[in-house]
């Protein structure tokens, strides 16, 4: 048993980067990632009494982060009256940036991030947790509240979808061959 | 070999995302959110503590009233023996008195620490409360201790009090005071000797000055020892 003030601070110190990374990969937007991180830890603080098993603290916090991120995106969808215009602008600037980078052949992370954003939230979450945050199938299943088998199957599908999208994009073959 | 690899789930290409340049959060954001969490949490902890204190006070008052009522009845019935027994049961003997002036004039170590904290924090109340915090530890008075400490669980406080029982309070001295970046918190490094020893020991206490006047002390102590 530890007193709550130090526990919440310890949890924050231990996991704020994981939460921020997840949020940034999920949104590709610094401000939104900060909002999600802040809201996640406020929720953690309010619901700390629900954390019975300390060994599951990481998956518990990441599941809150995931729900917060999904909620934020859902709200944005409802509030966004001009989705096409905004999306076009966003895509335009992003495309410009990633094309430049691809042409310069310096880095391709922004290209993959762009494709990741187009995956549906469930697949996106699985890719982030499994491939980028290197969580186990079991941990990922805990966060998503589904079976381990479903995580494995959906992770395969998500990776294949990503690969397919990337192959469609100009320049990807060249990048893969040049590895 | 190439075909075989193609059938396996290879997701190394995704890993380039780990190298994105802006992956980590800004330190300013991290520190700001940490301060916010600490502040909100301390406030809610203090609120719940003050509520539980109020309930305890109400409980004590109700007990006192019922005791007086029993006493009154015993006198009414001209049964003085019952009254005497009840007087002995009242917890008056466990009440401690803390006179800050007496403490400062009778204990040079308290006096010196009082002056140093006052000089550093410009808060008479905070300096007084720190001395009272130490005196509560010295007297083993858990309820008094809770007034000044963030720690509020008896099973953690008792081991700390036991540890302080071995401390020679007259050797207590402040070695260093470090303001944290998250003001208004200050870390006090104090030195002391244990009874019947001359070896000097050090410990750190974190003092949070809540509203520029009142304070709470947090002392890291492994109560499992």
Residue A23's alpha-carbon distances to A49, A118, A119, B61, in angstroms, are: 24, 15, 15, 52
- Any B CB within 8 A of A118 CB: no
Instruction: Indicate whether A156 and A168 sit together in one domain.
Output: yes
Instruction: Indicate whether A86 and A64 sit together in one domain.
Output: no
> What's the CA gap between B154 and B146, in Å, rounded?
9
Q: pLDDT tens, position by position, for chain A (179 residues)? A: 444 457 888 999 999 999 999 999 999 999 999 999 999 999 998 888 888 888 999 999 999 999 999 988 887 776 665 545 445 555 544 444 444 444 333 357 888 999 999 999 999 999 999 999 999 999 999 999 999 999 999 999 999 999 888 877 645 554 554 44
The per-residue pLDDT for B220 is 67
Binding-face residues of A in 132-171 toward B, CB within 8 A: 132, 155-156, 159, 162-163, 166
> What's the CA gap between B140 and B159, in Å, rounded?
10
Residue A51 near residue A1, CB atoms below 8 Å: no
- Any A CB within 8 A of B45 CB: yes
CA distance B91 to chain A (A): 29
Strand order in the sheet with B215-219: B167-179, B185-194, B200-209, B215-219
> What's the CA gap between B110 and B174, in Å, rounded?
10
Domain of residue A41, CATH code: 1.10.1740.10
Instruction: Indicate whether A21 and A53 sit together in one domain.
Output: yes
Instruction: Indicate whether A106 and A50 sit together in one domain.
Output: no
Q: Among A79, A107, A128, where does a domain finish?
A: A79
B42 interaction partners in chain A (CB closer than 8 Å): 5
- Any A CB within 8 A of B18 CB: yes
Q: Is A166's CB within 8 Å of B13's CB?
A: yes
User: CB under 8 Å to B199, separation ≥6 — which residues?
Assistant: B193
Tallying the residues shown for chain B, one arrives at 225
Instruction: Indicate whether A146 and A165 sit together in one domain.
Output: yes
Give the model confidence (pLDDT) of B189-224 as tens digits.
899 999 888 888 888 887 877 666 667 787 766 655
- Any A CB within 8 A of B40 CB: yes
- Any A CB within 8 A of B7 CB: no
Instruction: Indicate whether A59 and A134 sit together in one domain.
Output: no
Instruction: Indicate whether A27 and A87 sit together in one domain.
Output: no
Instruction: Indicate whether A38 and A65 sit together in one domain.
Output: yes
Q: Among A61, A79, A97, where does a domain finish?
A: A79
Instruction: Indicate whether A53 and A98 sit together in one domain.
Output: no
A156 to chain B: nearest residue by CA? B9
CA distance A148 to chain B (A): 16
Total tally of structural domains belonging to chain A: 2
The per-residue pLDDT for A90 is 52
B34 interaction partners in chain A (CB closer than 8 Å): 9, 12-13, 16
User: CB under 8 Å to B120, separation ≥6 — which residues?
Assistant: B177, B186
- Any B CB within 8 A of A33 CB: yes
Please count the other Cβ atoms lying within 10 Å of the Cβ belonging to residue A34. Answer: 19
Q: Among A50, A79, A108, where does a domain finish?
A: A79
A8 interaction partners in chain B (CB closer than 8 Å): 37, 41
Residue A72 belongs to domain spanning: 1-79
- Any B CB within 8 A of A177 CB: no
B45 interaction partners in chain A (CB closer than 8 Å): 3-5
H or E element at residue B225: none
Instruction: Indicate whether A93 and A167 sit together in one domain.
Output: yes
Instruction: Indicate whether A98 and A149 sit together in one domain.
Output: yes
The per-residue pLDDT for B222 is 65
Instruction: Indicate whether A60 and A72 sit together in one domain.
Output: yes
List B192's β-bridge partners, or say none: B201
- Any A CB within 8 A of B14 CB: yes
Domain of residue A135, CATH code: 1.10.10.10
Q: pLDDT tens, position by position, for chain B (225 residues)? A: 344 444 567 888 888 888 888 899 999 999 999 988 888 777 666 666 666 667 777 888 888 888 888 887 776 665 555 544 444 444 444 566 788 888 898 899 999 999 998 888 888 888 888 899 999 999 888 888 888 887 777 887 888 898 898 999 999 999 888 877 655 778 888 999 998 888 888 888 878 776 666 677 877 666 555
């Amino acid at each position: 048993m530890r007193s709550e003030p130090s526990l919440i601070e310890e949890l924050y110190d231990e996991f704020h980067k994981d939460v921020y990374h997840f949020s940034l990969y999920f949104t590709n937007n610094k401000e939104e990632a900060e909002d999600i991180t802040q809201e996640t830890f406020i929720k953690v603080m309010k619901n700390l009494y629900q954390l019975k098993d300390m060994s599951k603290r990481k998956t518990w916090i990441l599941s809150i982060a995931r729900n917060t991120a999904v909620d934020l995106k859902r709200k944005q969808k409802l509030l966004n009256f001009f989705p096409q215009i905004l999306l076009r602008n966003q895509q335009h600037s992003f495309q410009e940036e990633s094309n430049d980078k691809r042409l310069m052949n310096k880095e391709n992370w922004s290209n993959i991030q762009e494709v990741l954003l187009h995956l549906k939230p469930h697949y996106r979450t699985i890719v982030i947790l499994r491939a980028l945050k290197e969580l186990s199938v079991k941990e990922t299943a805990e966060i998503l509240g589904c079976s381990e088998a479903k995580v494995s199957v959906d992770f395969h599908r998500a990776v294949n979808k990503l690969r397919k999208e990337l192959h469609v994009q100009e320049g990807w073959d060249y990048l893969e061959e040049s590895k | 070999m190439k075909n075989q690899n193609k059938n396996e789930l290879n997701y190394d290409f995704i890993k380039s995302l780990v190298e994105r340049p802006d992956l980590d959060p800004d330190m300013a954001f991290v520190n700001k959110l940490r301060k916010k969490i600490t502040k909100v949490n301390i406030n809610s902890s203090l609120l719940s503590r003050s509520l539980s204190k109020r309930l305890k006070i109400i409980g004590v008052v109700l007990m006192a009233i019922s005791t007086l009522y029993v006493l009154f009845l015993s006198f009414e019935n001209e049964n003085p023996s019952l009254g005497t027994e009840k007087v002995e049961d009242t917890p008056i003997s466990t009440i401690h008195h803390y006179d800050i002036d007496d403490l400062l004039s009778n204990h040079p170590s308290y006096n010196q620490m009082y002056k140093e904290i006052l000089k550093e924090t410009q808060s008479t109340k905070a300096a007084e409360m720190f001395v009272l915090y130490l005196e509560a530890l010295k007297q083993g008075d858990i309820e008094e201790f809770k007034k000044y400490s963030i720690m509020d669980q008896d099973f953690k406080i008792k081991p700390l009090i036991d540890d302080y029982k071995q401390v020679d309070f007259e050797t207590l001295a402040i070695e260093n005071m470090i303001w944290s970046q998250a003001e208004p918190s200050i870390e006090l490094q104090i030195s002391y000797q244990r009874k019947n020893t001359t070896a000097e020991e050090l410990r750190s206490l974190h003092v949070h000055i809540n509203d520029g006047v009142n304070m709470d002390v947090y002392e890291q102590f492994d109560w499992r020892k």
